[in-house]
Amino acid sequence: MLKILIPTIALALTGWTVPLKQLWSTTLAYSSIIALISLSWLTNPMETGWSFLGLHMATDSLSTPLLVLTCWLLPLMILASQNHISPEPENRQRMYITLLISLQIFLIMAFGATEVIMFYVMFEATLIPTLIIITRWGNQLERLNAGTYFLFYTLAGSLPLLVSLLLLQSNTGTLSLLTLQFSPAMPLITYADKLWWAGCLIAFLVKMPLYGAHLWLPKAHVEAPIAGSMILAAVLLKLGGYGMMRMMIVLEPLTKELSYPFIIFALWGIIMTGSICLRQTDLKRLIAYSSVSHMGLVAAGILIQTPWGFSGALILMIAHGLTSSALFCLANTNYERTHSRTLLLARGLQMILPLMAAWWFIASLANLALPPLPNLMGELVIIVSLFNWSWWTIALTGAGTLITAAYSLYVFLTTQRGPLPRSIIALAPSHSREHLLMALHLLPLLLLILKPELILGWTA
């Protein structure tokens, strides 16, 4: 773990020492090397449980894919932000890069933590850099409102989790993930026990977010700069799913009745947020609601607590992380040229940017889960495990899949096909930087088709 963590901390210091001319190229090269080294985590056999075990941190088959995704995303965020941050004053550029690196440090420590309290502290620590990125570098005046929503939704869910963890500590005598799985399960008899159960999960369901506690996400996405949207969609939402998977071991055996309302909210949310996507005019808001829909499927897969459900949830989290980040990058390339996120004002762009249309096509197909992409693999595994749990879920998941296909094609056809608006007279051509950025998002997704066991998780 330290072979990645120490270079990442050193990279944060490097951001303040290199000359301004070499700032972006140096941090990009350094973070790319860290990302490549992190791939070595994937070489370990997945059945062996914990590996790279230190005093406070370790990796296993659940955290490894998420750790690699975190490291992979930093160079991509630096690549994506270069165009609109480089005209700013020197201190702001350095601060922006430092915030991105600090996010990576907190996320590595969160995903690698073997103590639940350390995970909780890092889970909360990610709030600070994200909040500063949204409120300082956001695009419009609404960014302060979005930051407030983001902060208070997350904090309101997290405080009950802290109380629940302290109760768990007093009852079991340990909060180490290595030993918690062997401690006897707490019986859920009284109403206080049931509140404790809800307290353990509510923070993660808000973070994912579950439909009903999702209002902070579209606001945060729309107002955040490109790097903020990328890290939020690709990794920060996955903290919720990861935390739920870790806590589910402690909460075994679950009373079925307690998880019913959450599963119903998750499945109903897939249809509702998909329907909202169909009538969106704002491109970033549409992609944000699409994230809520996909994470609803992940939440349902985790809550039914079967090995298939867990596996499908992990596969879909990794695949969705790369896909939604790619879609936000594409939306940003449109925004940098047309200065509008409205779908009707930036349509027919295939005529001007044909290569970008190819990236749009691949990303839209990945979003609607085209075979043989990992997105389909994750969705199918979750849908089958839900069907096995209760056959009526097929109505909700099937309708959700159809709506997802409909809005994904709607986005592609609206942005790329049809006549060009007369307001678009001259646009800058697409740059090799943007093509590299899209390739580094979508090539890993395509390569995972060849070796999906890397992200299968516990049932590998």
pLDDT tens digit string along 406-423? 999 999 999 999 888 888
Nearest to 456, CA basis, from 377, 346, 394: 377
> What would the mean pLDDT of 274-289 be, rounded to a whole number?
94
- Percent with pLDDT over 70 in the chain: 97
More confident residue, 180 or 108: 108
More confident residue, 60 or 362: 362
Per-residue model confidence (pLDDT) at position 457 = 67
Say which range, 147-156, 251-260, 265-274, 350-359, has the weakest mean pLDDT: 251-260
Per-residue model confidence (pLDDT) at position 460 = 39
pLDDT tens digits, one per residue of 205-254: 999 999 989 999 999 999 999 999 999 999 999 999 999 999 887 776 66
Element (H, E) at 444: helix 432-447
What's the rounded Cα separation, in Å, for the pair 6 and 4? 6
The radius of gyration computed from the CA coordinates of the chain, to the nearest angstrom, equals 21
Residue 100 and residue 265 in contact, taking contact as beta carbons nearer than 8 Å:
no
What's the rounded Cα separation, in Å, for the pair 312 and 238? 13
More confident residue, 62 or 456: 62
First to last CA, the chain: 22
Nearest to 282, CA basis, from 408, 368, 411, 426: 411
Per-residue model confidence (pLDDT) at position 188 = 77
Per-residue model confidence (pLDDT) at position 373 = 94
Residue 283 and residue 411 in contact, taking contact as beta carbons nearer than 8 Å:
yes
